A and B are shown apart, each in its own frame.
Chain A
Amino acid sequence: MGMFVALSLFAPMPVRAQASLDHLTLIAPAAPGGGWDQTARAMQHALQAEGIVRVVEVENIAGAAGTIGLAHFVSNYQGRDDAVLVTGLVMLAAILWNDSPTTLAGVTPLAGLTGEPEVIAVPVDSPHRDMASLLTALRANPGGVSWGGGSAGGTDHLLAGLILASAGVEPGLVNYIAFSGGGEGVTALLGGNVTAGVNGYSEVAAHIESGRLRALAISTSARVPGIDVPTLREQGIDIDMINWRAVVAAPGLSLAQRDRLMSVISRMVRSPTWQRTLSDRDWTDMYLAGDAFDTFLWSERARVDRIVKRLRSGASATPARGTDWIFPVVIGLAAAVVAFLLARQRVLARRQPGPTTVPVAVDWRSVLWVCAGLAGYLAAISTGGFVVASTILFSSVAVAFGSRRRTRDAAIGLLVSGAVFVVFTRGLGLHLPEGVLGAWTR
């Protein structure tokens, strides 16, 4: 237990004196460790260290490129100004790509924060030395140029599609090989398995500097100081794109509520802590607030909308599309065969009852008690909170296994789940539902 105490000492201490906001929840629509989560945690640090907000909490709601977190935010925070959502270009695309029922239409835009340029790179032994030569190969045979990058529908995919469109090739024909995050795509590029890679600059910077990869173009509108890579525009490709991240507030805020949150963000952005974070992590400052951010958001939306439609429509001819039936069909057939064999086994067994078919007596009362515990947990966790739900589950399982000392069981369950709650929320900063204990613990 001592280690948790030791660790919690390192949580940044809030500066109480000059706090202008008491409590703010930052919703990161991604798992801990990802880009949106890192943005949220950097904001948390800056807001607390600078005394702009007294207590800042980060809540991770991961899933479907942020659209799950968006849906949660829109439906639970209507009209509330004690929470903001971290978002970005990837979410705009995912909304369209997943036909998400919730969109960014209702939210209150606050500010753009950071951005990261994209870079087109090839292995150093590739014949392509500039975009022109890559585009020539592309026009001759679109399928012969494979583009490696992050998940389908993400920034990398969109940029590859935009480049094809500007080269006069149908974007739906892009032979885009999507790799799941991490280093998989970069490994494939280093190993020469794909023709070209589309990646965030920081993912490949070290390999460009060490000379294993050759950068053909950077996606910004002008050259980035310190990076000796020509832009797409310099090479006659009329595109610029940056993987931006931003914050938005809940739908239905009054102007006063919106202005208060915007001033919190603008104080944070100007603070030395935030500026130091930007330079430490090589994040491009994309601070853009108010109407300027509004305009930017809508123009990005329109552009993403256009390219996603074209990538989705004419795409049946691309190599990755043409093979999406193989595994489902093979697995489906296997399932049918197995079902048939199982049925046959059963019929044969019934015809010749052997010693193996003696049924095990099932204690239904116990099973139902366990199931009741599971149902109780699901029902109680959102409203009652983690501790209440766990105690219910603990007690009913103990009953299922024949325990008669119900008060003792409930007490042990309460103790165990209370200890777990404290250790995980205070020690590790994991967000567990407080429920009815919320008002009491704060």
Chain B
Amino acid sequence: MDTLSALSDGFATALTAANLLWALVGVTLGTAVGMLPGIGPALTIALLLPVTLSLPPTPAFIMFAGIYYGGMYGGSTSAILLNTPGESASIMTSVDGHAMARSGRAGPALATAAIGSFVAGTLATAALTFTAPVMAEFALRFGPAEYFSLTVLAFMAVSCVLSDSLVRGFASLVFGLCLGLVGIDPLTGGARLTFGIPQLLDGIDVVIVTLGLFAVGEVLYAASTRTSERDEIAEIETSIWMSADDWKRSWRPWLRGTAIGFPLGSLPAGGAEIPTLLSYALERRLSKAPEQFGRGAIEGVAGPEAANNASAAGTLVPLLTLGLPTSATAAVMLAAFQQYGLQPGPRLFAEQGRLVWALIASLYIGNVMLLVLNLPLLRVWVNLLKIPKPLLYAGILTIASLGGYGLNQSVFDVAVMYVIGLAGYAMRQARMPLAPAVIGVILGPIAEQHFRRALAIGEGSPLIFLTRPLSCALLVVAVVLLIIPFVVRRRVPPLA
């Protein structure tokens, strides 16, 4: 097979001692920045772009790929342990992951995230190896109409994180949608809800909202309940490894998460948020005990974490085959290619085959390294929870403030983050779930932009959503998902 021999050549290139060292530097750095809230792989690679001046392309890309995968994985650690997701893609992980940590099962939660990331990363890299051209063609069929229909599907999935009270869940979602409206309307360039403040023109970044609601809000809430009775984080169970039951409950979500994450990651305007949300919703829908979700169901960690890493591999499909970056990190990697005078795209495989295959081989290697690096570290991470509370919370807030500042080097952003943190505190007091608000900030603008682009292309006719087959199919799935619970509920008599 042609692909296999090219791949083994790639391994031969990547498996030199120096390149392995760069891969190790990459995954270590990636894991570290992924754990730090607000400092993500995109910013890190952008800041490291100057190394392209002194490093040949192969080791540089091997390191960048390590940072990317490591960053996607590292975000889950802080989400599980501290309820402060390092990336917006780890929001879903924080829901059940942190609940598991609270009940003393931080070890298994971290383990299923690490192994799930490895499984998904490896399978998705294999999919990238063998199906990249096909996937790229599929991705091109996604226009604005299809993308809007996909967000409708994603909105259906939000209902599963709305908590016990529908009204409070919706209130949280609507709060997020309102925050998402702030800023320049990207289609016309007109300002909305910016109150004449120039710093609001670019809108409120989802990282700022995430850090504010989760990190700042969490610290405020912990402070306010310090002296009163509150469910304490339980002692860590003796075993930090996954039990046989944990394995049994995890492997299917890993595979399903991969199956969702890889194709959606390769879509234009992709990103890891929608796949992780859909994976969570799917696991809950398939679970025999959906009431456990939100209270520490391991499936709710395994699925989204797998989807997260699989989508990272998916983003490389349009980047390598078409030269199209579909996430912030991919955009920075494209800039890195251009620094070397390389243009990713249809001819990259032909002209720079050696480099591309070495990069793909290094993805496999990086995945193994991530697992090797992180499994022994699980015990160290879990012990983070043993840091005395005053120092732990002081540290969280200091690092979160660094993240808020580092994003755009703007003090204004930090102030906005603190204000949103106060809102997050109030929401906790009112027992409102936080995840829907972040989902609203992410999905609202995407849904609106694609809706209006599709309408403009269709010269104002909404029929475009139904006449395009793929878009219509997605809408049908969304409607079916909406109807199923009612049908099922009517058939099954409620328990007394």
Beta-carbon nearest neighbor of B29 in chain A: A3
CB A34 to nearest CB in B, in angstroms, measures 8
Which of A144, A178, A413 is in CB contact (< 8 Å) with B398?
A: A413
A177-B453, A327-B444 as given contacts; A183 in contact with B224, CB under 8 Å: no
Contacts of B459 in A (CB 8 A): 143-144, 175, 319
A327-B444, A390-B401, A394-B394 as given contacts; A45 in contact with B53, CB under 8 Å: yes
Contacts of B341 in A (CB 8 A): 280-282
Which of A322, A323, A327, A428 is in CB contact (< 8 Å) with B181?
A: A327
- Among the listed stretches A77-85, A290-298, A333-341, which one makes contact with chain B, having 4 or more residues with CB under 8 Å of it? A333-341
A402→B188 contact, CB < 8 A:
no
A377→B184 contact, CB < 8 A:
no
A429 at the interface (CB under 8 A from B): yes
Residue in A188, A210, A382 with the greatest tally of chain B CB atoms within 10 Å: A188
B326→A430 contact, CB < 8 A:
no
Contact mask B392-416 → A, CB, 8 Å, 1/0?
A: 0111011101100110111100110
Contacts of B45 in A (CB 8 A): 33
B375 at the interface (CB under 8 A from A): no
Q: Roughly how many angstroms separate A101 CA and B196 CA in the complex, as a whole number?
A: 10
B346→A210 contact, CB < 8 A:
yes
A7-B48, A324-B452, A430-B406 as given contacts; A33 in contact with B411, CB under 8 Å: no
Contacts of A32 in B (CB 8 A): 43, 46-47, 49, 332
- Among the listed stretches B124-132, B171-179, B233-241, B242-250, which one makes contact with chain A, having 4 or more residues with CB under 8 Å of it? B171-179
Which of B142, B224, B410 is in CB contact (< 8 Å) with A363?
A: B224
Beta-carbon nearest neighbor of B42 in chain A: A33
Which of A97, A319, A382 is in CB contact (< 8 Å) with B189?
A: A97
A37-B46, A184-B269, A341-B167 as given contacts; A382 in contact with B220, CB under 8 Å: no
CB A141 to nearest CB in B, in angstroms, measures 8
A134 at the interface (CB under 8 A from B): no
B479 at the interface (CB under 8 A from A): no
A3→B25 contact, CB < 8 A:
yes
Which of A179, A206, A319, A382 is in CB contact (< 8 Å) with B347?
A: A206
Contacts of B347 in A (CB 8 A): 206, 209-210
Beta-carbon nearest neighbor of B445 in chain A: A327
A428→B198 contact, CB < 8 A:
no
A45→B50 contact, CB < 8 A:
yes
B143→A188 contact, CB < 8 A:
yes
B408→A331 contact, CB < 8 A:
no
A362 at the interface (CB under 8 A from B): yes
B465 at the interface (CB under 8 A from A): no
B174→A187 contact, CB < 8 A:
no
Beta-carbon nearest neighbor of A391 in chain B: B398
B191-205 interface with A by 8 A CB criterion? 191-192, 198-199, 201-202
B324 at the interface (CB under 8 A from A): yes
Beta-carbon nearest neighbor of B331 in chain A: A182
A320-B456, A394-B394, A401-B393 as given contacts; A59 in contact with B141, CB under 8 Å: no
Which of B139, B143, B167, B397 is in CB contact (< 8 Å) with A342?
A: B167
Contact mask A150-170 → B, CB, 8 Å, 1/0?
A: 011100010000000000000
Contacts of B409 in A (CB 8 A): 59-62, 430-432
Which of B43, B55, B139, B228 is in CB contact (< 8 Å) with A360?
A: B228
Contacts of A374 in B (CB 8 A): 216, 397, 418, 421
A71 at the interface (CB under 8 A from B): yes
B390 at the interface (CB under 8 A from A): yes
Which of A12, A37, A191, A206 is in CB contact (< 8 Å) with B323?
A: A206
Contact mask A378-400 → B, CB, 8 Å, 1/0?
A: 10011000100110011101111
Q: Roughly how many angstroms separate A268 CA and B484 CA in the complex, as a whole number?
A: 67
B140→A398 contact, CB < 8 A:
no
A64→B201 contact, CB < 8 A:
yes
Q: Roughly how many angstroms separate A420 CA and B403 CA in the complex, as a whole number?
A: 11
A186 at the interface (CB under 8 A from B): yes
Chain B residues touching A, range: 35 or more
CB B331 to nearest CB in A, in angstroms, measures 5
A64→B202 contact, CB < 8 A:
yes
A284 at the interface (CB under 8 A from B): no
A346-386 interface with B by 8 A CB criterion? 360-364, 366-367, 369-371, 373-374, 377-378, 381-382, 386
Contacts of B216 in A (CB 8 A): 374
A68 at the interface (CB under 8 A from B): yes
Contacts of A143 in B (CB 8 A): 459-460
Q: Roughly how many angstroms separate A237 CA and B363 CA in the complex, as a whole number?
A: 49
A252-297 interface with B by 8 A CB criterion? 280-282
Beta-carbon nearest neighbor of B397 in chain A: A397
Beta-carbon nearest neighbor of A179 in chain B: B453
A41 at the interface (CB under 8 A from B): yes
A378→B332 contact, CB < 8 A:
no
B391→A412 contact, CB < 8 A:
yes
A31→B268 contact, CB < 8 A:
no
A436 at the interface (CB under 8 A from B): no
A394→B398 contact, CB < 8 A:
yes
Contacts of A401 in B (CB 8 A): 222-223, 226, 389-390, 393-394
Q: Roughly how many angstroms separate A401 CA and B201 CA in the complex, as a whole number?
A: 37
B5 at the interface (CB under 8 A from A): no
Contacts of B453 in A (CB 8 A): 177, 179, 188, 320
B186→A180 contact, CB < 8 A:
yes
B325 at the interface (CB under 8 A from A): yes
Contacts of B418 in A (CB 8 A): 374, 378
A248 at the interface (CB under 8 A from B): no
Beta-carbon nearest neighbor of A32 in chain B: B46
B477 at the interface (CB under 8 A from A): no
A402→B226 contact, CB < 8 A:
yes
Beta-carbon nearest neighbor of A141 in chain B: B459
A100-B198, A315-B188 as given contacts; A398 in contact with B456, CB under 8 Å: no
Q: Roughly how many angstroms separate A44 CA and B50 CA in the complex, as a whole number?
A: 10
Contacts of B269 in A (CB 8 A): 180, 184, 187
Contacts of A327 in B (CB 8 A): 181, 444, 447-448, 451
B398→A393 contact, CB < 8 A:
yes
A63 at the interface (CB under 8 A from B): yes
Beta-carbon nearest neighbor of A151 in chain B: B186
B248-296 interface with A by 8 A CB criterion? 268-269
B325→A183 contact, CB < 8 A:
yes
Contacts of A321 in B (CB 8 A): 188
Beta-carbon nearest neighbor of B447 in chain A: A327
Which of B143, B224, B346 is in CB contact (< 8 Å) with A367?
A: B224
B411→A378 contact, CB < 8 A:
yes
CB A279 to nearest CB in B, in angstroms, measures 8
A403 at the interface (CB under 8 A from B): yes
CB B272 to nearest CB in A, in angstroms, measures 15
Contacts of A6 in B (CB 8 A): 25
Beta-carbon nearest neighbor of A281 in chain B: B338
The 3 closest A-B pairs by CB, nearest first: A183-B324, A206-B345, A32-B46
Q: List 15 A-B contacts (CB under 8 A).
A: A10-B54, A38-B335, A152-B188, A179-B453, A180-B269, A187-B142, A206-B343, A320-B453, A321-B188, A370-B219, A381-B414, A386-B402, A397-B393, A401-B226, A402-B226
- A98-B198, A319-B455, A369-B223 provided; 5 other pairs, C-beta below 8 A? A184-B326, A193-B143, A338-B170, A397-B390, A401-B226
Q: Which residues of A are at the interface with B, using a C-beta cutoff of 8 A?
A: 3, 6-7, 10-12, 31-33, 37-38, 41, 44-45, 59-64, 67-68, 71, 97-98, 100-101, 143-144, 146, 151-153, 157, 175, 177-184, 186-188, 190-191, 193-194, 202, 205-207, 209-210, 212, 280-282, 315, 318-324, 326-328, 331, 334-335, 338-339, 341-342, 345, 360-364, 366-367, 369-371, 373-374, 377-378, 381-382, 386, 389-390, 393-395, 397-403, 409, 412-413, 416-417, 420, 424, 428-432
Q: Which residues of B are at the interface with A, using a C-beta cutoff of 8 A?
A: 25, 28-29, 42-51, 53-55, 139-144, 165, 167-168, 170-171, 174, 177-178, 181, 184-192, 198-199, 201-202, 216, 219-220, 222-228, 268-269, 318, 322-326, 330-332, 334-335, 338-341, 343-347, 388-391, 393-395, 397-399, 401-402, 405-406, 408-411, 414-415, 418, 421, 425, 429, 444, 447-449, 451-453, 455-457, 459-460
